[in-house]
């Protein structure tokens, strides 16, 4: 894995496996092996997979394409991740039951403790918005102290893995609100994809996926200067960036405004929006906020989706 020149071979392999064993069985067999690199490409490969699986018809070829994309870009989040999670991603792996999982109230508190301690640990870093975020993140991924602190305050089990990711995505939403950017937007949309794919993983792999998303998100938090965020904040009077447009106030209005660029392109006879268009990111962000609010309601989903859809600017 990790060979960008092998996309075609990976695609052919996954198409054949899906045809032989069925799509669900193919995903159960091979998706856990990609968890260590789920963050690659700002989660684009697994976002693509989660969208493919929404298709009401046959989606085997598109799912195989996404699996090939993920396989070709695969790289563990940090160098010793394969050793840290050795055996946990094998098809017959058993979830670790060495200790009781925290209830969600305790988990929320622990997540706040982790980020407050990270804020203290990295206070001298600050944040000036300069430099390559990707280079900084790549270095932070290897920080053993950061990982150890994050994981010591993330008491997750297979049963609470999805809820833990939903809580983490709410923090990602706060991070995006504080500093709208390509990376913080994908912290939200990528977390959405992680949560959608967790049920496709066996219990031990769910724990690993949730932990790695939490570590990745925490590195983004540090890289962005550890801005003040809270799971308990339900709304904000501060707009994103300099936007002064009135935001949509209902989900039907958000959906209408988010899709209006596509409707306009269709009426004009154009081919559609390119993947790099700002409108595409607005649509994806609005859709994610809509879907995630259905999973775990939070007022900021509607507020931020409304601002993004109304302004047409994702950052």
Q: Which of 81, 31, 30, 23 is nearest to 53 (CA)?
A: 23
| Domain boundaries defined on the chain | 4-72, 81-87+100-223, 251-311
Q: For residue range 254-281, list pLDDT tens digits in order.
A: 999 988 866 555 444 444 444 447 788 9
Spatial separation of the C-alpha atoms in residues 301 and 305, rounded to whole Å: 6
SS3 per residue for the chain: CCCHHHHHHHHHHHHHHHHHHCHHHHHHHHHHHHHHHCCHHHHHHHHHHHHHCCCCCCCHHHHHHHHHHHHHCCCCCCCCHHHHCCCCCCCCCCCCCCCCCCCHHHHHHHHHHHHHHHHHHCCCCCCCCCCCHHHHHHHHHCCHHHHHHHHHCCCCCCCCHHHHHHHHHHHHHHHHHHCCCHHHHHHHHHHHHHHHHHHHCCHHHHHHHHHHHHHHHHHHHHHCCCCCCCCCCCCCCCCCCCCCCCCCCCHHHHHHHHHHHHHHHHHHCCCCCCCCCHHHHHHHHHHHHHHHHHHCCCHHHHHHHHHHHHHCCCC
Q: Which of 248, 249, 315 is nearest to 279 (CA)?
A: 315
Which two tokens mark 281? 């990111």
Instruction: Give the confidence band of 250 by pLDDT, cuts at 50, 70, 90.
Output: very high
Q: For residue range 116-166, list pLDDT tens digits in order.
A: 999 999 887 766 665 688 999 999 999 999 999 999 999 999 999 999 999
Q: How far apart are the first and last CA of the chain?
A: 33
Which backbone phi and psi does 260 adopt, to 5 degrees?
-60, -35
Task: Read off the pLDDT of each residue in 63-68 and give the average, rounded to a whole number.
Answer: 96
Q: For residue range 81-92, list pLDDT tens digits in order.
A: 999 998 899 877
Instruction: Give the confidence band of 28 by pLDDT, cuts at 50, 70, 90.
Output: very high
Task: Read off the pLDDT of each residue in 227-253 and give the average, rounded to a whole number.
Answer: 66
Asked if the model's pLDDT at residue 180 lies above 70, the reply is yes
Q: For residue range 73-115, list pLDDT tens digits in order.
A: 999 999 999 999 988 998 777 776 555 566 888 999 999 999 9
CB–CB of 94/158 below 8 Å?
A: no
CA quadruple 263, 268, 270, 274: dihedral positive or negative?
A: negative
In the prediction, which pLDDT does 265 show? 52
In the prediction, which pLDDT does 111 show? 95
In the prediction, which pLDDT does 104 show? 86
In the prediction, which pLDDT does 271 show? 42
Q: Which of 170-179, 229-238, 293-302 has the lowest mean pLDDT?
A: 229-238
In the prediction, which pLDDT does 266 show? 44
Spatial separation of the C-alpha atoms in residues 38 and 66, rounded to whole Å: 12
In the prediction, which pLDDT does 125 show? 74
């Amino acid at each position: 894995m990790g060979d960008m020149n092998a996309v075609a071979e990976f695609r052919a392999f996954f198409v054949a496996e899906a045809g032989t064993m069925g799509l669900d069985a193919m995903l159960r067999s091979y998706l856990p092996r990609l968890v260590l690199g789920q963050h690659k490409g700002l989660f684009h490969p697994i976002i693509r997979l989660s969208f493919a699986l929404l298709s009401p018809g046959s989606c085997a070829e598109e799912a195989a394409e996404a699996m090939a994309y993920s396989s070709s870009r695969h790289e563990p989040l940090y160098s010793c991740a394969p050793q840290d999670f050795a055996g946990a991603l094998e098809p017959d792996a058993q979830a670790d039951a060495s200790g009781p999982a925290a209830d969600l109230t305790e988990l929320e508190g622990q997540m706040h403790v982790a980020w407050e301690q990270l804020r203290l640990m990295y206070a001298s870093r600050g944040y000036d918005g300069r430099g390559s975020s990707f280079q900084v993140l790549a270095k932070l991924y290897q920080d053993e102290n950061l990982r150890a602190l994050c994981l010591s305050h993330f008491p997750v089990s297979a049963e609470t893995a999805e809820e833990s990711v939903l809580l983490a995505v709410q923090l990602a939403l706060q991070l995006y609100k504080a500093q709208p950017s390509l990376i913080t937007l994908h912290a939200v949309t990528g977390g959405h994809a992680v949560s959608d794919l967790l049920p496709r993983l066996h219990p031990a792999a769910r724990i690993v996926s949730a932990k790695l998303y939490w570590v990745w998100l925490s590195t983004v938090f540090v890289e962005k200067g550890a801005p003040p965020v809270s799971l308990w904040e339900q709304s904000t009077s501060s707009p994103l960036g300099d936007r002064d447009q009135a935001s949509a106030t209902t989900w039907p209005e958000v959906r209408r405004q988010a899709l209006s660029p596509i409707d306009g392109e269709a009426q004009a006879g154009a081919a559609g929006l390119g993947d790099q268009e700002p409108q595409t990111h607005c649509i994806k962000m609005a859709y994610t906020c809509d879907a995630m609010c259905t999973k775990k309601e939070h007022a900021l989903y509607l507020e931020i989706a409304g601002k993004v859809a109304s302004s047409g600017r994702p950052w």
